Amino acid sequence: MTKKLTGLVLFLITVFILVPWLIAATGRTDLYYVFTSIGLLSIASAGVWLTFFIGRINIGQGAYALMGGYVSAILIMYYGWSFWLTLPVAGLFCAVASILIGVPILRLRGVYFAMVTLILTEVMRLLALAVPITNGAKGITSIPPPGPISLFGLTLVPDFATLENPRIAFYYLSMVLMIMCFALMYRLVHSRIGHICMSLQQNEELASSIGVNIAALRVMAYAISSFLGGIAGAVFIGATQSIYPSSFTVTDSVNFMLNCFLGGLGYVFGPMLGTLVLYLGWNLLFSMEKYQLLIYSTAMIVLMLVLPNGLLSLGAKRKG
């Protein structure tokens, strides 16, 4: 317990103090956007990890990130909603949509479910191109930054538009949401429901024979997964102040899955570490130009072969 608490404190100090200090010291304020993206992509990847946790492969998270982004953008631009109110609405909208989609397809075996989810992102992209309210390929632009949050005259969150560098605010927002997301995921996985969900990985027929409602657990996990994707997409449009049908593609959906594999499917915090390594690695190799994809792909293959259980399995091997 002491080690876990110490690790948490060190992590919080790194995220909220050390990283901002290093960015300020180097003058690389563009890195705020990089780490904001890592935080948001980690949240979406956490949802994908949860579907892995119940024994299903989800390659359609990009669809819900795109859906959540458009819901937030439409409510802000056309109906004058506050950005902060659109966050839970975007997540809930995605959760409801996932329930309607998931009830029939979650009955499919793992590989068939994966193939169906693979097309969801492309379907959402085509809908964004076809539906008039999304403004087609032009997308929705000039989205205003988040406004202030006040309570009894006390400003809890400043107006992002008044800040000299709003990227700092989005960095802290993404980090807070990421920490809340993984804290809730950790609590869920180590709860009674989490232990029941784990049994689905081993033998669904056996779990069903002792009275476990498999269908309800699958739908619940998929709804939570899609909720997280919608939240990540909604914050993303606030940070970029725009959204297009190509903002999240099939490649992003595959990357969400790879984040989980690289970090470790057996670890709650695997998606966070996987996202950090993949996203930073891709950006660091940018100077390699035409060799970027080759080096990146080779490194991924080597890591998968050497560490099939993910990067976090290194700690488990040392303990062993």
Which SS3 state, helix, strand or coil, does residue 140 take? Answer: strand
Mean pLDDT for 235-252 is: 94
Q: Residue 304 above 90 pLDDT?
A: no
Question: Which residue in 246, 287, 288 sits closest to 126, CA to CA?
Answer: 246
Q: What is the DSSP letter of 14?
A: I
Question: Which residue in 71, 120, 79, 95 sits closest to 224, CA to CA?
Answer: 95
Q: Residue 181 above 90 pLDDT?
A: yes
Q: What percent of the chain has pLDDT over 70?
A: 94
> What number of residues does the chain have?
320
Q: Would you state the pLDDT for residue 76? A: 96
Among 7-11, 29-33, 70-74, the range with the most confident prediction by mean pLDDT is: 70-74
Mean pLDDT for 114-136 is: 92
Nearest 5°: CA angle at 303, between 301 and 307?
A: 125
Structure-derived torsion over alpha carbons of residues 300, 302, 303, 305, reported in degrees to the nearest 10: 120
Cβ within 8 Å of residue 12, ≥6 positions away: 179
Residues 213-224: pLDDT tens digits?
788 888 999 999
Mean pLDDT for 24-43 is: 92
* Spatial distance between the Cα atoms of 105 and 99, rounded to a whole number of angstroms: 10
What residue type is assigned to position 74 of the chain?
I
109 by Cβ neighbours in 10 Å (0-12 / 13-18 / 19+) ranks as exposed
Residues 73-88: pLDDT tens digits?
999 999 999 999 999 9
Full-model pTM: 0.93
Q: Would you state the pLDDT for residue 207? A: 67
Read off the tokens for 10. 């060190």
Q: Would you state the pLDDT for residue 318? A: 55
Nearest 5°: CA angle at 249, between 289 and 84?
A: 110
Q: Residue 208 above 90 pLDDT?
A: no
Q: Is the CB of residue 292 less than 8 Å from the CB of residue 284?
A: no
Which spans in 152-291 are helix H?
Answer: 166-189, 192-202, 204-209, 214-240, 250-263, 270-284
